[in-house]
Structure 1
Amino acid sequence: MRFKPSTNSIIGLIGFVIFGFAMWRFSELVSYLLISVALSFVGRPIVLLLQRISIRSKRFPSSAGAAIALAMMLGLTIGLTQLFAPLFAEQALAVQGMHEMGVERMANETFSWIDQNLTWLNLSGDERNNSTYLLEQIQGFVQLDGIGSFFGALLQGLGDGFIALFSILFMTFFFLKDGALFRNMIQALTPDHLVPKINSIMDRTSALLTRYFGGLVVQVAIITTIVSLGLSIIGAPNAFLIGFMAGIFNLIPYIGPMAGTALGLILIATSSYTGAADTSGILLGSLGVFAVAQLVDNFFTQPIVFANRVHAHPLEIFIVISIAGNLAGAAGMVLAIPAYTLFRIIGQELFSGFKVIDQLTKNLNG
């Protein structure tokens, strides 16, 4: 005999929907909180290790341990930045060289073609030729609107970045200091009779997402290794940088691999202006390397990570990722599967008996 949802269950489901809307409405703050929780999982083992140290029969202070763990994570981030910065600078010089050697020639050829074949348009409405008029319009945009918009966007980006960084560091410190803080926060907002279910939700979510994110690390490592080795063999420049970027872009479902491939080919093409020989051959070989990496990812890594590890049908995953992409862009696509996993676990624990929820969660226990 099937369970018939009670009034309390229906009210609870409505409350859950309202809660989900609030999470979406304040998604920026929620994202800071979730990033801080994730970072605390990374740094918490360091704090626990430091707390084993005794100073005059006293345990190492948790505040000091949290500060050290946070400093170590910041140091690692800065170190990686310093490692990759020279490579990005080299690519910037390559792009500059491409501009000096190729873009100007292409622009001249384009304007010459316009003057020869589109004289009948008379864009300026006077005696000026079309290329002169177009060049004046472009220069006016770049010098006025373009520069103003660029610096406005730059200042806004710096301000938003500082607020995000401060918020994440501030919350991460306290999550590192007290490993049970997040769980206590959730329990404080939970009615007493639901605390056991909430604890079960957090435990199951932690276990399932740990497997999922572990799979993502493996996925990035596999793509980085294949692309880096392949590009090195064919003689492409900056093979590791391009391979690592391809691995990171690959985290974005469906469109990420295409974006990573396009960016990689662009970087390789720009490097040809710094002395690389047989550019077309290198580009074709690079395209083959990216294709091999995607075949391995699609037939080996993806089924393990995105289906088996979260116990969801591939069609479910596609629909969820598509909806998340429409709502929140690339960031939503990256976070879609973890969020969907959490919602399925919550639905199974709190709202079992609803036909649609039972159908979505029937394979969750795997």
Structure 2
Amino acid sequence: MVRRMLLYLLLMLVVLVFISWYFSNIFIYLIFSLVLATLLRPLTNTIHQIHVLNNRIPRPIAIIFSFSIVIVVVTLFVMLFIPLFSEQVKVLSQISYDSVLTSVSQPFNSIEQFLIENKLTVQQEGFLFESIRESLFGLLSEVDFTLLLNNLISVTGGLLVGFLAVSFITFFLLLENGILRRQIIALIPNQYFEVFIAAMFKIEKLLSNYLIGLLFQMASIFSIASLGLSILGVKYALTIAVFAAVANLIPYLGPMLGASFGIVVGVSTSGDISLSQDLLIIVVKILSVFGIVQAADNILLQPLIFSKSVKAHPLEIFVIIFAGATIAGIPGMIAAIPTYTILRVSTIEVYAGFKGYQIFKK
């Protein structure tokens, strides 16, 4: 009986993993919808309890209000970047490309001079920079801009479809409050009910801890980055800090994206993109701040969020994140830990049920 049941559960797990991989887009949409519904449910319930003319606000209206708040937050997030983009356009229009080209060519001229003086080459002066420039032009000429445009349209369409799918699923998850849980519970035989409820309780608790930990991580990274960049006088410190906090949702890759974005913004808004001492000082300032951010994240935040909240070893987390990246790219990296938490807790609880409950031993 026990062996047959274990084999049955193993088969179900394999089928679930295969379905998750084969329908990875739908699975990712469902995961994001569940997370969004979990975050919006308290707000929706609060709005739903408000009485207007002795009647509670209808739940669909409460959901629309919740969605509106999310849209406002996203709009404010986008508006935060508008001044930055405007300045980028202004800076690019004022750049003296001749001076930039001269500045960039100076290190190559020094290398050429060294090679010629030591008779390490027979080429004429200017060959190194010229060969690099020809290589760059060759690469640009090989770029298929039609294909690039088609890929951009495809990605934009995919994002739009994903947005609509997540919005649709989240709306009905909030409308039918707890319907997914009730439907799943209804499929569980009575003899496995206690084990399943215990597993569901632990899964919800761990995922809740994980989400709270992520919010704390984002707030901490934003605070450290914005304070450090502001003290060092880096322009658009808040914008860089917001981007870094959001990018940090992507495990391992996020901190590098945040630092890269900070350097690009710091360099492009400095007014001088030539290789100068002032430019190097700006880069050092930004890297020093993000070095502190990364140290705090690795030493304090990630162990607290990943290891403590989901009760998993850091090596497990590392392997699972890269498995998620292999299956579904960046969305897979983001959804890897919650998905692994569900599978891991379910397996542990079922195994504990086999050991602890007499009904499985009959």
TM-score of the aligned structures, taking structure 2 as reference length:
0.80
CA offsets 1:159-203 (integer angstroms, 9 cap, x no match): 212211111111111112121122123234444543443333332
Instruction: Give the match for residue 223 of structure 1.
Output: 221
Q: Secondary structure at the match of 1:351?
A: helix
Instruction: Please give the per-residue CA displacement for 1:324-348, whole angstroms capped at 9, x wherever unaligned.
Output: 3333333333322222211111101
SS in 2 for 1:272: coil
Contact 1:265–1:283 (CA under 8 A) maintained in structure 2 = yes
Q: Deviations over 1:233-286 (max 9, x none)?
A: 111111111122222233333333233223322221222236999222222122
Could you tell me which residue of structure 2 aligns to residue 166 of structure 1?
164
- The change in CA–CA distance for 1:268 and 1:118 in structure 2 (over 3 A counts) is farther
Q: Provide the rounded CA distance (Å) in 2 between the counterparts of 1:268 and 1:44.
A: 39
**CA-CA distance at 1:130 after TM superposition:** 7.2
Contact 1:235 1:282 in 2 (8 A): no
Higher relative contact order (CA 8 A, sep 6+): 2
Give the % identical residues: 31
Q: Quick check: 1:284 aligned with 2:256?
A: no
RMSD across aligned C-alpha pairs, in angstroms? Answer: 3.4
What residue number does 2:175 align with?
177
Task: Quickly say closer, same or farther: Cα 1:135–1:48, change in 2 above 3 A.
Answer: closer
- Would the alpha carbon gap of residues 98 and 263 (structure 1) be closer, same or farther in structure 2, given more than 3 Å must change? farther
Residue matched to 1:209: 207
Q: Which amino acid aligns with 2:171?
A: F
Q: Distance in 1 between matches of 2:264 and 2:300?
A: 27
Match of 1:72 among 69, 78, 82: 69
C-alpha spacing 1:189/1:138, structure 2 compared with 1 (3 Å): same
State the distance in 2 between where 1:187 and 1:177 align: 19
1:204 deviation in Å? 1.6
- CA change 1:135–1:293 in 2 (3 A) is closer
- How far apart, CA to CA, are the structure 2 residues paired with 1:135 and 1:335? 38
Q: Which residue of 1 aligns with 2:349?
A: 349
C-alpha distance in 2 between matches for 1:208 and 1:52: 28
- Trace 1:7-46 onto structure 2 (pairs within 5 A): 7-46=4-43
Is the CA contact (8 Å cut-off) linking 1:97 and 1:274 kept in structure 2?
Answer: no
Gaps of 5+ in 2: 125-129, 356-362
Map 1:50-65 to 2 at 5 A.
50-55=47-52, 57-65=54-62
Give ranges in structure 1 of 5+ residues lacking alignment.
Answer: 121-128, 356-366
**Structure 1 residues 96 and 189, CA gap change in structure 2 (3 angstroms):** farther
Residues 43 and 66 in structure 2, CA contact (< 8 A), matched pair in contact too = yes
The 5 A counterparts of 1:255-270 are: 255-270=253-268
Structure 2 match to 1:244: 242
Amino acid at match of 1:82: M
Deviation at 1:139, TM superposition (A): 6.2
TM-score, normalised to structure 1, is 0.79
Between the aligned partners of 2:134 and 2:318, the Cα distance in structure 1 is: 48
Question: For residues 247 and 67 of structure 1, do their structure 2 counterparts lie closer, same or farther at Cα, with a shift above 3 Å needed?
Answer: closer
Q: In structure 2, how many angstroms separate the alpha carbons of the residues matched to 1:84 and 1:41? A: 28
Counterparts in 2 of 1:306 and 1:138: CA distance versus 1, 3 Å: closer
Corresponding residue for residue 296 of structure 1: 296
Cα 1:258–1:96 change in 2 (3 A) is: farther
Cα displacement (A) at 1:110: 10
Match of 1:48 in 2: 45
Q: Which amino acid aligns with 2:291?
A: A
Tell me which amino acid in the other structure corresponds to 2:173: F
Residues 65 and 177 in structure 1, CA contact (< 8 A), matched pair in contact too = no
Q: What is the CA-CA distance between 1:72 and the residue it aligns to? A: 2.2
What residue number does 2:360 align with? none
Contact 2:63–2:171 (8 Å) recurs in 1:
yes
* Deviation for aligned residue 1:106: 6.9
> Which residue number corresponds to residue 79 of structure 2?
82
Quote the Cα distance in structure 2 between the aligned partners of 1:159 and 1:336: 24
Query: Is the contact made by 2:24 and 2:327 (CA closer than 8 Å) also made in structure 1?
Result: no
Quote the offset at 1:55 in angstroms.
Answer: 4.6
